[in-house]
């Protein structure tokens, strides 16, 4: 892999979405944020609306989306906030969303996700975390390709996680039919897929003026952690120790506010520093270096592998028919 200069910004782990978007005018721009009814999705949408963008909250629970939209309108004064139904695990719902979209789309933030879920499959037999975190967003983004192209300089933002360090995409057993189900390996695989998608979308769509990047938002205590019981926490620590290496002390858990958690997403969606930048992985508002043994930061080489990225795209198209 050729050496390239990492993208840096003046922002840090403590910066908020409001900090990174200060001075940026999104008037006339249109954005979609998935999973925008809770957690960092709310603050991502709020920052975009406050900067003048017309924002669509793409959510499974439209009642919760309506409450969020009302709150964002009240805090930003923006009337350009709408709600649309989207269930990422249901291909028909994704098709309905993309078919209904009219006109250009400048910013797509693939933010929705599920973490460490109990073993579950969609009616198609897809493992739930892979289906939600990757396949649903793949179908959505490819379905909106014409709208993104029409925008001229559109940006796709994929919310990944340091959990991608737990697992590459296991092409021989994507849906845990041959191996025992492990909620963290399933999550890790799906989060690696989020990065690989940005790598391949950036390559395929460069001529269309579309860029795609992925990010780790940081540790934030939101509804994403609803499955975190003692057993799952113990299993998480086991996988984390494997990433760090035996004998490396486990780091103290530190958490960001939701406003800080949304900052890197908003940076990738809006900052002039990211003009023309694609296929990269960021954490704490800066491009992440390659993962180093003994740490739980950085990006794993398996998440940037261009061959894996191309294969994942092809497999995803086959699965979705």
Within 8 A by CB and 6+ apart from 45, the residues are: 31, 33, 36, 55, 57, 68, 72, 81
DSSP SS3 for 155: strand
Answer yes or no: 187 catalytic. Answer: yes
DSSP states along 195-261: HHHHHHHHHHTGGGT-EEEEEE---B-SGGGTT--HHHHHHHHHHHHHHH-TTPPPPPP--B-HHHH
Is 281:9 a contact under the CB 8 Å cutoff? no
Characterise 31 by phi-psi region: left (phi > 0), alpha (psi -120 to 50), beta (else).
Answer: beta
Of 181, 187, 227, 281, catalytic: 187
Helix and strand counts by DSSP (H, E) for the chain:
13, 8
Within 8 A by CB and 6+ apart from 210, the residues are: 145, 148, 149, 153, 154, 155, 156, 201, 202
Separation of alpha carbons 114 and 135, rounded Å? 13
- Helix (H), strand (E), coil (C) string for 48-98: HHHCCCEEEEEECCHHHHHHHHHHHHHHHCCCCEEEEECCCCCHHHHHHHH
Separation of alpha carbons 10 and 5, rounded Å? 16
Return the active site residues. 187
């Amino acid at each position: 892999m050729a050496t390239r200069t990492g993208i840096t910004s003046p922002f840090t782990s403590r910066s908020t979405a409001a900090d990174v978007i200060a001075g940026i005018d999104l008037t006339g721009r249109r954005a979609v944020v998935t999973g925008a009814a809770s957690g960092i999705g709310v603050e991502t949408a709020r920052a975009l609306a406050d900067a003048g963008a017309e924002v669509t909250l793409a959510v499974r629970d439209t009642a919760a989306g309506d409450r969020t939209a009302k709150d964002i309108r009240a805090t930003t004064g923006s009337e350009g906030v709408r709600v649309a139904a989207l269930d990422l695990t249901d291909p028909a719902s994704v098709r309905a969303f993309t078919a209904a979209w009219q006109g250009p789309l400048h910013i797509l933030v693939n933010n929705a996700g599920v973490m460490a879920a109990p073993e579950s499959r969609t009616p198609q037999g897809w493992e739930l975390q892979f289906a939600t975190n990757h396949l649903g967003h793949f179908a959505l983004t490819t379905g909106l390709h014409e709208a993104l192209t029409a925008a001229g300089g559109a940006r796709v933002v994929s919310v990944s996680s340091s959990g991608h360090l737990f697992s590459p995409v296991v092409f021989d057993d994507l849906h845990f039919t041959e191996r025992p189900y492990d909620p963290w390996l399933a999550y890790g695989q799906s989060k690696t897929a989020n990065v690989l998608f940005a790598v391949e979308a950036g390559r395929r769509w460069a001529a269309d003026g579309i860029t795609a990047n992925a990010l780790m938002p940081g540790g934030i205590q939101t509804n994403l952690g609803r499955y975190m019981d003692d057993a799952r926490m113990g299993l998480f620590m086991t996988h984390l120790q494997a990433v760090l290496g035996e004998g490396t002390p486990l780091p103290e858990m530190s958490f960001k506010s939701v406003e800080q958690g949304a900052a890197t997403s908003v940076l990738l969606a809006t900052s002039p520093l990211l003009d023309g930048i694609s296929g990269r992985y960021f954490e704490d508002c800066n491009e992440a270096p390659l993962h180093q043994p003994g740490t739980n930061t950085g990006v794993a080489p398996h998440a940037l592998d261009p061959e894996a990225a191309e294969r994942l795209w092809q497999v995803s198209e086959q699965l979705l028919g």
